[in-house]
A and B are shown apart, each in its own frame.
Chain A
Amino acid sequence: MSGSEDDKGKRFAEIVLPYLDEAFRLARWLTGNRADAEDVLQEASLRAFNGLDQFRGGNARAWFLTIARNTAFNWLKKNRTDCLSLDEMSEQSIEAAGQSTTATPEAIVLGKIDSDRIHQAIANLPLVFREIVIMREIQGLSYREMAQIAGLPIGTVMSRLARARNLLVLALAET
Chain B
Amino acid sequence: MAENSNFSPADGNDEAMTTLLLNAYLDDELDAAETVRFEARLAADQTLQARLAQLEGLRAAISPLAQQEDGLSPALRAEIARRFQPAPARLRRPVVQQWMRMAASVLFGAFLSAAVLTSYFDLWNGGRTDVVADAVAGHMRGLVASQPYDVASSDRHVVRPWLAAKASRVPRSPDLSAKGCVLAGARLDIIEQQPVPVLVYRLREHVISLTMLPSGTAPVTQATYNGFSILSWRENDITLLAVSDVTEGELNRFRDAYEMTREQGE
Contacts and interface: CB of A to CB of B under 8 A. Distances in A.
Contacts of A74: none
The 5 closest A-B pairs by CB, nearest first: A110-B57, A24-B72, A9-B86, A9-B85, A140-B165
A1 B53 CA distance: 58
A168 B57 CA distance: 11
A107 B51 CA distance: 8
B93 to A, nearest CB: 15
Given A41-B72, A122-B65, A172 B168 contact: no
A143 B27 contact: yes
B41 to A, nearest CB: 15
B65 A12 contact: no
Given A25-B70, A28-B70, A162-B23, A109 B80 contact: no
Q: Which of B20, B65, B72, B195 has the most CB of A within 10 A?
A: B72
A17 B190 contact: yes
B4 A18 contact: no
A159 interface: yes
Interface in B41-73: 47, 50-51, 53-55, 57-59, 61-66, 68, 70-73
Given A45-B80, A138-B65, A155-B6, A21 B51 contact: no
A25 B71 contact: yes
A169 B19 contact: no
B54 A106 contact: yes
Chain B interface SS verdict (over half): helix
A105 B54 contact: yes
B76 A12 contact: no
Contact of A155 (B4, B47, B65): B4
A162 B6 CA distance: 15
Contact of A109 (B24, B54, B65, B76): B54
Nearest to A23: B72
A149 to B, nearest CB: 14
A21 B167 contact: yes
Interface of B: 1, 3-7, 16, 19-20, 22-24, 27, 29, 47, 50-51, 53-55, 57-59, 61-66, 68, 70-73, 76-77, 80-81, 83-86, 161-162, 165-168, 188, 190, 193, 195
Contacts of A36: none
Contacts of A136: 27
Interface string A33-50: 010001001100110010
Nearest to A6: B86
Contacts of A118: 61-62, 64-65
A22 B166 contact: yes
Q: Which of A28, A105, A106, A119 has the most CB of B within 10 A?
A: A106
A137 B62 contact: yes
Contacts of A155: 4-7
A88 B216 CA distance: 46
B63 A137 contact: yes
A42 B27 contact: no
A106 B50 contact: yes
A169 B80 CA distance: 39
22 contacts: A9-B84, A13-B190, A17-B193, A17-B195, A18-B166, A18-B188, A18-B190, A21-B195, A24-B71, A38-B73, A41-B80, A45-B80, A45-B83, A105-B51, A106-B54, A113-B61, A133-B62, A136-B27, A153-B3, A153-B4, A155-B7, A158-B4
B24 A158 contact: yes
A5 interface: yes
A54 B86 CA distance: 20
B118 to A, nearest CB: 15
B64 A115 contact: yes
B162 A5 contact: no
Interface string A95-132: 00000000001111110010100110010000000000
Contacts of A28: 70
B84 A162 contact: no
A175 interface: no
